[in-house]
Amino acid sequence: MHEYESIRELKKELPRMPLVDKGAFQSLDLNKVKALMLNTRFKDCLFMGCKMDKEIREYLSDKGNNIIFPKMKVPYKMYLSKLYTRQSLYKGYDTNHSESYEDTYDKKVYDHYMSKGGAEPQTIYESLARRIHDHSVTDALGDFIRSYDARKIVAIMGGHSLKRGSRDYKNICLISKSLTEKGYLLISGGGPGAMEATHVGAWFAGRTQKELNEGIRILKHCPSYKPQKDWLSTAFEVIQKFPQKNKYESLGIPTWLYGHEPPTPFASRIAKYFANSVREEGLLAIAKGGVIYSPGSAGTIQEIFQDACQNHYVSYEHPSPMVFINSKYWNQDKPVYPFLSKMMKEGKYKNLILSLYDKAGDVVDEIVSFTESD
């Protein structure tokens, strides 16, 4: 089923297509191409969240097409044809007036989310609106990653409390910068801490080590995401001082479940969900090039065992590397690595590709070696 997601595409394609069979149209103002619509035959097509007047609606309905157009009063777009960006989530944010964050799309949606029951929506009305939104995010996410080699999509996981400028933070930046420059798409949970470091590294791809160090120096003025206002303002200060080069991309996948943690503006594309379970599963599923684990607490450990389960059952085409960085942390502080190694040796976990390093360069080499092994 071909997806039509821009009026420009319709103007180009419809005049030479007397029949559109099994097409999907999402979030388009079809009134802008009314004459073209009424002069084209549509069969078994799906129209989701499209604007159309009565004449177009009746014409499409008479041809047996499916029109999904619930009118729900929510402060978020239910039908997204493209992923979020920092511009769309933080529209209206002024670094000189931190209170302006309260008026951004991201904050308004979070406030609404909390007022309607948070993770447990109070009405079917609200839960349906969220499910439609998350479905469109997943669809847009699939469109975006389709242009990448699946084995070159790599995730970095780690704690939200990891401080800017710490050794682990710098290592993540170096890993992400190097892999991005080698053509990998780096993804994370899209929040602060280790997640932010992933996107800072990708942001500085193509720039010098000295420039990255200067960016981290600025960020260190607010080492934690609390207070939010300083965490955001220093991030935007770096973005303004060091514009991104060569159109390198990175993908953040945050959730409004943790909406008190603002999404990192360093991610060039943002797939923000309401349902954290969909977000967690999807993030690990698309990281077919491997997952790198930096120090983290309960959430990171949950992701480790979820990833191990996916690899054990080969849930997504092939097992992918699970690369741990900071041997002291993963061997002693949170001894997950020796446990997984033991379970694998005893045959209780299969298909795991485990490694543990302390140096950023070794992690990069491990990921690249896996990609090139096929």
DSSP-H helix ranges across the chain:
7-13, 34-38, 54-62, 86-89, 105-115, 124-145, 167-181, 194-203, 209-219, 228-241, 276-286, 298-312, 327-328, 336-345, 360-372
Among the candidates 114, 138, 162, a domain finishes at 138
For 60-94, the pLDDT digits (tens) are 999 889 998 767 899 999 999 899 999 999 998 99
CA distances (Å), 162 to each of 16, 69, 170, in order?
Answer: 55, 43, 10
Question: Does 273 lie in the same domain as 231?
Answer: yes
Question: Does 155 lie in the same domain as 134?
Answer: no
Find out whether 90 and 76 touch, Cβ atoms under 8 Å: no
Tell me whether residue 12 is in a domain: yes
Question: Does 103 lie in the same domain as 10?
Answer: no
Rounded Cα distance between 289 and 292, Å, is 10
Which pLDDT belongs to residue 374?
A: 65
Burial of residue 187 (CB within 10 Å: 0-12, 13-18, 19+) is: buried
Question: Does 186 lie in the same domain as 40?
Answer: no
Find out whether 42 and 95 touch, Cβ atoms under 8 Å: no
Among the candidates 120, 138, 156, a domain finishes at 138
Question: Does 304 lie in the same domain as 248?
Answer: yes
Tell me whether residue 80 is in a domain: no
Question: Does 57 lie in the same domain as 153?
Answer: no
Tell me whether residue 73 is in a domain: no
Q: What is the DSSP string of 120-173?
A: S-SSHHHHHHHHHHHHHHHHHHHHHHTTS-GGGEEEEE--TTPPTTSHHHHHHH
- The residue whose two tokens read 């419809």 is 14
Question: Does 162 lie in the same domain as 39?
Answer: no
Q: Which long-range contacts (CB under 8 A, 24 or more apart) does 226-231 make?
A: 228/98, 228/101, 228/262, 229/98, 229/99, 229/101, 230/98, 231/192, 231/262
Question: Does 197 lie in the same domain as 113?
Answer: no
Question: Could you give the number of structural domains in the chain?
Answer: 3
Find out whether 301 and 336 touch, Cβ atoms under 8 Å: yes
Which range of residues forms the domain containing residue 216?
148-372
Find out whether 299 and 162 touch, Cβ atoms under 8 Å: no
Which pLDDT belongs to residue 63?
A: 84
**CATH code, 355:** 3.40.50.450
CA distances (Å), 225 to each of 164, 171, 200, in order?
Answer: 9, 19, 14
User: Of the candidates 204, 211, 212, 168, which has an alpha carbon nearest to the alpha carbon of residue 186?
Assistant: 204
Question: Does 125 lie in the same domain as 27?
Answer: no
Q: Indicate the pTM of the whole model.
A: 0.92
Question: Does 98 lie in the same domain as 33?
Answer: no
Residue count of the chain: 374
Torsion of Cα atoms, 208 then 214 then 215 then 219, to 10°: 160
Rounded Cα distance between 314 and 307, Å, is 10
For 135-147, the pLDDT digits (tens) are 999 999 999 999 9
Tell me whether residue 75 is in a domain: no
Find out whether 266 and 250 touch, Cβ atoms under 8 Å: yes
Tell me whether residue 166 is in a domain: yes
Among the candidates 24, 40, 68, a domain finishes at 68
Q: Tell me how many degrees the CA angle 48-53-59 measures, rounded to the nearest 5.
A: 80
Instruction: Report CA torsion sign: 183, 184, 186, 187.
Output: positive
Tell me whether residue 74 is in a domain: no
Tell me whether residue 77 is in a domain: no
Rounded Cα distance between 124 and 204, Å, is 44
Tell me whether residue 78 is in a domain: no
Question: Does 330 lie in the same domain as 185?
Answer: yes
Question: Does 121 lie in the same domain as 64?
Answer: no
> Low-confidence residues of the chain, pLDDT below 50?
none
**Residue 46, beta-bridge partner list:** 24, 66
Burial of residue 12 (CB within 10 Å: 0-12, 13-18, 19+) is: exposed
